[in-house]
Every structure is written in structure tokens, then in C-alpha cells.
Chains A and B, each alone.
Chain A
Amino acid sequence: MKRRRSAAAIVALTPAILFLGACTSDQPTGKAGGTASPSAQSKFFDQAEYEAQLAMRTKTPQGPADKPWEQMIDPKMVDTAKYKKNGPYHLCFSNAAVNNPWRQVGFKTMQAEVALHKEITKFTVLDAEGKDDKQISDIAELTGKGCDALIVSPNTTATLTPAVNGACPKVPVIVFDRGVQTECPVTFIKPIGGYAFGADGAEFLIEKVPAGGKILALRILPGVDVLETRWSAAQAAFAKSKLNVVGAEFTDGDAAKTKSIVSDYIQRHGKIDGIWMDAGATAVAAIEAFEDAGVPVPPFVGEDQQDFLKKWKDEKLTAVAPTYPTYQWRTPVIAALRILNGEQVPQDWNLPQPKVTEANLDTYLQPNMPPLHYALCGCDKMPGFPQKWGGK
């Protein structure tokens, strides 16, 4: 009986550890979350890249203004004549995962983009389900499948680099979203980046919240480079301001936890004057914490998800939504076709990264779309919209 009990306890505990491990992170930091020290920069901070991104925000992108997914900022074009071949084409895609609404919307948009091009007769997709090891074997498998071009959305940066290096000599490779530490892909597609995202939100709060105001920063989890860059840029901006960052908390992207954390802070500090978030999925839960406490909702940083935009409009909030646009999922398909056509593409394809503001809120608010739909999908005029994206 005794043995049975302790065995049971061990088994009960094991999955909890597995859950912990399931949060993929590139380089887990040893730094605990806790109260923010705005001066301390994380090891993810790259001063040159930070400055480059902030500068890119005000540059005029090249390309058609009504198709931001074809635009590029500061392109350094590379020759692709050696990849030129006649269609029809077989495109392959190694996807990190479809495990969150952002990737859901993006992947649907990519499939719709593929459907637009008759010359693509075959589109093979392998889903790595958020596992590095699976993606490594996925990439190896795809390189042997006669793909004309291989699109990779890496699960993590460092671990996937050798796999991409292995694929490059065999097939033109296009990487997007998260990067890899090698120059071998023909093009790397991404929006301006995390520093710009983080700075957009922080600068808005610095402008809207009076000096001395208390800011609470809500982060999903530590150790993921695309999220760390957002926070480090915000820290840099707050450090130069007169705002007081009273806390930086990890929410795990969980709505109930977010709401509890914000409620605690409202209790503890009497008043919170601004909320910064590194991703907007739980923004509405954070807003509700203020509503339920019976205090006015302070200036807010969210993201371009419909539930947040709706709340913003309905409650006339002071808010901003930096974006990491899902329209970037269209670009790899376009890039692949250009490469196979021998047209030049930029080595680093920097897409514009607009933010939703008071002024353009109505353009992005789509009441017919599901609450977790991302407004900047660039999919509004694609065949099958809005039903394919869950809209009415």
C-alpha cells in the first residue's frame, strides 16, 4: 500500500514537469521574472539590431502600398538566376507548429496564397508540432522529396540552424518568422521585429501616461528571443522615461492568471497607470481586471486581435496595438515563385510592421471575425474570406 502511494505521487508529478518542458524556449534565461529592473539588459539584447529596427520604423518601404506583404525595407537584393526553372512547381513547407491563434491565422493565409498560383501544383507541408527534433527530421525528409523550393518557419533559432544548413545545397531555402544563424537561405523574411514591437508600445505609454505613473508589464514567458527583444526594447524606452515600472510578470499566456496578476497589482498599488504587454492574447482579461475592480482602464498596449480591438472601440480606451503581422505568411510563397523565376529577392526581406492606433482602428476592427482573429492577415481580399478564417 505504501509503495503504491509513492509510485502514484511520482507519476502524478511527472506530467507537470513535462508541461514545463513543453514551453519551447531558445535559451532559457536564469533570470527569474519578478520585479523589473529596467536598467538590466538581457543577454538577448543586440544594440546594433535594436537601432536598425527602430530606424526602419520610419523608412518608406519599397513596393505596392496596398500589398504590404510584398513590400520591403532597405532591401539588399541577391541574384537568383541559378535557381531559375520552369514550372509547374512543387513547394514544400516545414512549419514549426500551428499551436496558437497567430500561427493558425497565418497558416490559413499561406494556404490561400498557394491556391492563388496555378503554377504551384503541389504543396507539401510537415508540421513539427512545436518540437525541434521533429522539425529537423521534417526538413531532412522534405529535401529528399523533390521540392523545387523549401520554406522553413523554424521552431527555435540555434537548434534548427544545422538542419537548414543541410538543406541549402539541395534546394533554395526561404526562412521566415523566426530566424536561423546562417546566411545560407536565399532570403529571410520577417516584419521589422521585436525591438520595434516593444518600443512602439512603450513609447505610446510614455506619451500618454503622466510622469511618475506606474506601469505594469505583462510577459508570456522568458527565454524566447522574439519575446525577449520586445521586452528589452520596452525596458530601454522606459529607462529613459519618467515612468515607474512597478512590475514585470509572466502570464504563460493564460487569461485567468493574467486577470489575477493584474487584480493583485491594482490592490497592491492602489492604481496602475499603464499596461505594457509583449503579446496581446490576454489583453482583454487584463482590461477586465480593471473593470471588475471598478477603476478606470488606463492606457493599454495590446495586439491586433479582434477581441482587443472590439473592447478598445466599445469602451473608448486609450490604447495602441503594435503588430507582428500575419500577412508575413503570404510572402514566403511569393518569394519562392520569384526565386524560381530567376527574379532578385532581398537577402533580408524586412516587411513593414504597422501599428493599430486610434486613427486607423476602424479599418482593422472586423466584427464578423472570430475574437482571436488577427486583423493584419492581409487576407481580406483572398478567395474564401471570411469563412475560411472562421468569420461570418
Chain B
Amino acid sequence: MKRALPIFTVLLVLLIAIAASNPYFLEPPGFLAFLKRAAPLAILAAGQYFVIVAGEFDLSVGSLVTVEVVVAARLIDGDDSATWPVLALLIVIGLLVGLANGVITTALAVPSFITTLGMMLILSGAVFLWTGGAPRGALSEGFRAFGREELGPIPWSVLILLVVGAVAILLMRADFGRTLIAAGDNRRAASLSGVRVHRATIFAFAISGLSAAIAGILLGGFAGVSAQIGQGLEFQAITAVVLGGVVLGGGRGSVVAAMAGALTLEALFTLLNLHGISGALEFTVQGVIIIAAVAVGAVRLPFRPGASISPPMLKTKETP
């Protein structure tokens, strides 16, 4: 939890800044609307966290989100009775794509950057081929409820976000979490000490695929069908995770901080919008964050006595 402190401070500052220019933000409906909007990205960030902490990348989640939404619209075609079977299918698609990423990365030893970049291109090409750029069909009211409606005062997406967060924390506290961190920190050492690195990595990719499925369900519900819905989400998710202090390359960082990173990123976008700064700047902001976060992470490395399994040679570095 200590590790997540800096990002929560940044988040708090941003939330206060938003509230200063928009007092409605402090009222429960205003804040819940913000959480509702941030939920898909926070869920994607949670999924991405598992992959990144294991020392890998998942660039395919954005186009996977698009696939989920486009497939859902085509299969449901406005028919409410198809909602639940299609939801189940979407979850399966997410898991399968994640599994494929994981197996290719581990068993075939293709670097995950290439595996998931390839998967991203395959999926976006497939969507384009299938839809010809204009998705068909429509989502049912029942499907859209998850991203659009509330249970009492709380939006469904916020409830789903809480559940995802809880499950993610439990997973990281279980043996699986420790295995994953060990694998990300030093793959060879972990492997030599009997950790099943491949199995853990495949599982992490499957979780990321699953998170893309859930994010797709929420995003499609929130905004409706579009062939561009997932565009750029993989970078937002990676930015969020990095912003949460999770180290690219693996081995360190907490899932709560990664999700807080997503909320922070979303808060930053909201703040930019509130002050009339063009949305085109979002890419620039993300770029600066990724570089700055990694640079700061590298500089602070020697101050981290908590990271006990870091290679000892890095600890001998003098403080700058």
C-alpha cells in the first residue's frame, strides 16, 4: 500500500483541481459519473498490470475491445434475448485471445511486444474485413445497461469495477501473485527455484484478455457501437499502469496503484477538457507521462530497500 501512496496523492490533487472548477463534481452523482467513465480504463489497467508485472506487454487489448463490441452488436442485433449468451461468448473470446497471446509468448518464445502487436494488427484487420469499416447490428438495452445504467444510485460499471479490483487484489495476495512478481523480477532465478513461469505468464495474459472483454462490455454499453471504440486504449492502459508506479520490465508495483493510475489519467483528461485544452493533447500527455514515469522510476531505484529481490548490482549505484 505504501507504494501506492504517491499516485493517490497525485489523484487527490487532480480531483481537488477538478472540483475547484466544477463544484458539481463533489456531489455523489458527479463523482459517480466520473468513476463510471473511468471504469473501463481502470479495468483494462488492472488486466495490463498482471502482464506488465510479469515482465511482458499486452498491446492487443485496444483492438480486442473493438472486436468485442463489434461482435456483440452483430450477434445481438437489437434482440434482448440474445444478451446473456453473447455476454458469455464475449468473455470466452477475451480469454481465448489472452491465452493465444500467452502461449505464443511462452511456448514459441516470441517476445510479447511482437506477439501482441501482431495480435493487435490481426484483430483490427479482421474487424475491418468483417465490418468493412461500418459495424452492423445494434446492442440490446439489456447489454447497454452495464455501461449506462445504475443499480439504485450506483452505476453498474462502478460496481463491476469494485468487484474487479477486489478480485485483482486477492489474486495478487495469493501464490499466483507472488509467482508472477518473481517471474517478472528475474525470470531465470524464478524458473530455477521451481516457479512455473510459463503457466503464470499465460494466466496473466488470459486475465488481460478477460479485462478487455469486460471493458468492451462497459464501453459498448456506455457509448454504443463504433468500429473505433478501442482505438488507442492499449496505450492508455499502459500509461495508467506506468503512472501507477508499476515498473515496465516487471517485478514491482501494485495492482491498486495501477488502477489508481487509470483514474488519475482519466482525471487528467477531464481536467484538460474542463479548461478547454484540446483533446489532441491527450497523446502528448500520455507520451510525457510514460517517459517521465520510467525516468523517475530509474532514478529512484537505489532508494527502494523494499524491493528485496532486485539484482544486487543495481543497489550499489550511487545516489545522484
Q: Which residues of A contact B (CB under 8 A)?
A: 1-2, 4-6, 8-9, 11-13, 15-17, 19-20, 32-35, 98-101, 103-105, 221-222, 247, 249-261, 263-264, 267-268, 281-282, 284-285, 288, 292, 307, 370-373, 390
Contacts and interface: CB of A to CB of B under 8 A. Distances in A.
B135 interface: yes
A249 B134 contact: no
A1 B314 contact: yes
A251 B279 contact: yes
A5 B249 contact: yes
Interface in B285-314: 286-287, 290-291, 294-295, 297-298, 301, 311, 314
Contacts of B279: 33, 249-252, 257, 261
Nearest to B135: A372
Contacts of B64: none
Given A104-B132, A390-B134, A250 B278 contact: yes
A256 B229 contact: yes
29 contacts: A1-B314, A9-B290, A12-B248, A13-B291, A16-B235, A16-B283, A17-B287, A19-B283, A20-B283, A32-B278, A33-B276, A34-B277, A98-B133, A247-B276, A250-B279, A254-B226, A254-B231, A255-B226, A255-B229, A260-B270, A260-B273, A261-B273, A261-B279, A263-B33, A264-B273, A268-B21, A268-B22, A282-B226, A288-B224
Q: Which of A12, A98, A284 has the most CB of B within 10 A?
A: A12
Q: Which of B222, B223, B242 has the most CB of A within 10 A?
A: B223
B278 A34 contact: yes
B106 interface: no
Contact of A101 (B133, B276, B278): B133
B134 A8 contact: no
Contacts of B137: 370-371
A288 B148 CA distance: 9
Given A1-B311, A1-B314, A35 B242 contact: no
Contacts of A257: 279
Contact of B134 (A5, A105, A250): A105
Contacts of A263: 33, 37
B298 A370 contact: no
B286 A104 contact: no
A interface, over-half SS = helix
Nearest to B287: A13
Interface string B229-254: 10110010010001000011100000
Given A12-B235, A222-B280, A254 B228 contact: yes
A12 B278 contact: no
A372 B132 CA distance: 12
Contact of B22 (A1, A11, A32, A267): A267
Nearest to B235: A16
Contacts of B136: 370-372, 390
A288 B247 CA distance: 39
A115 to B, nearest CB: 18
B247 A5 contact: yes
Interface of B: 21-22, 24-25, 30, 33, 37, 57, 59, 113, 117, 132-138, 148, 219, 222-226, 228-229, 231-232, 235, 238, 242, 247-249, 270, 273-274, 276-281, 283, 286-287, 290-291, 294-295, 297-298, 301, 311, 314
A282 B278 CA distance: 18
Contacts of A249: 273, 279
A16 B133 contact: no
Nearest to A291: B148
A217 to B, nearest CB: 12
A4 B133 contact: no
Contacts of A6: 294-295, 298
Given A12-B290, A268-B21, A371-B225, 5 more contacts: A13-B290, A260-B37, A264-B270, A371-B138, A373-B134
B22 A16 contact: no
Contacts of A1: 249, 311, 314
Contacts of B298: 2, 5-6
Contacts of A17: 283, 287
B56 to A, nearest CB: 10
Nearest to B313: A1
Q: Which of B57, B136, B286 has the most CB of A within 10 A?
A: B136
Nearest to A255: B223
A103 B278 contact: no
A33 B278 contact: yes
A113 B59 CA distance: 41
Contacts of B224: 255, 284-285, 288, 307
Contacts of A258: 223
A259 B157 CA distance: 16
Contact of A12 (B57, B273, B311): B57
Contact of A259 (B223, B225, B247, B287): B223
Nearest to A284: B224
Nearest to B185: A1
Contacts of B57: 8, 12
A309 to B, nearest CB: 14
Contact of B286 (A16, A32, A259, A390): A16
Given A9-B248, A12-B238, A99 B133 contact: yes
A46 B22 CA distance: 39
Nearest to B233: A256
